Amino acid sequence: MNCSLSSICAILELRINERVIIMEINEERHESSTQIIKNMARNILKKNKGKEIYLKDIRRIIAREFNQPFSPGVYSSAMRDLIDEEDGRIINVDRGIYMYVDSVKKHEINKVLEECIQSLKASAYVDYLNTDEQEFQYIKQIPKIVESIENMKFK
């Protein structure tokens, strides 16, 4: 790693709730707050491809490194910009949870398959008093169908 006096250079390993977040930092100090957050968040997410990373963990790493608080609005803006700039490689999995994906299509296909699995599982819940034997036979096939769909997912 090549560092100048105007740079931060470090490798951090942060253990939070049994998750390991690896971070390599080489950011210029004269960047805007939004740019600093975007660059550091991008680096954190890329180093942890395929892992869900909580925004609170990203904030903790950045706060530790800069010893200054950034407003929630700056983080929100930076993460929104980052998602737009990365052509779908950085996704917002859920509120406050981000992930860098190696393949956008792979992720999209697996997401569709997972939604299908969840729909099948939901359809397995029935009103026993108003369900005939033929319906039960269909319901008994759901675990096999779910297993087949699971096997279709990209690893």
- pLDDT tens readout for residues 32-87: 888 989 999 999 999 999 899 999 999 999 888 888 788 888 999 999 999 988 88
**Could you write out the three-class secondary structure of the chain?**
CCCCCCEEEEEEEEEECCEEEEEEEEEECCCCHHHHHHHHHHHHHHHCCCCCEEHHHHHHHHHHHHCCCCCHHHHHHHHHHHHHHCCCCEEEEECCEEEECCCHHHHHHHHHHHHHHHHHHHHCCCCHHHCCHHHHHHHHCHHHHHHHHHHHCCC
Whether this prediction's pTM lies above 0.95 is answered by: no
Beta-ladder partners of 100: 90
* CB neighbour class for 39 (10 Å; exposed up to 12, middle 13-18, buried from 19): middle
51: Cα separation from own chain's centroid: 6
Contact 78, 94 (CB under 8 A): no
| Model confidence pLDDT, tens digit, residues 102-138 | 888 898 899 999 999 999 999 988 888 888 999 999 9
Judge whether residue 30 has pLDDT over 60: no
Instruction: Give the pair of three-digit tokens for residue 87.
Output: 């052509």
Provide the pLDDT for residue 10: 44
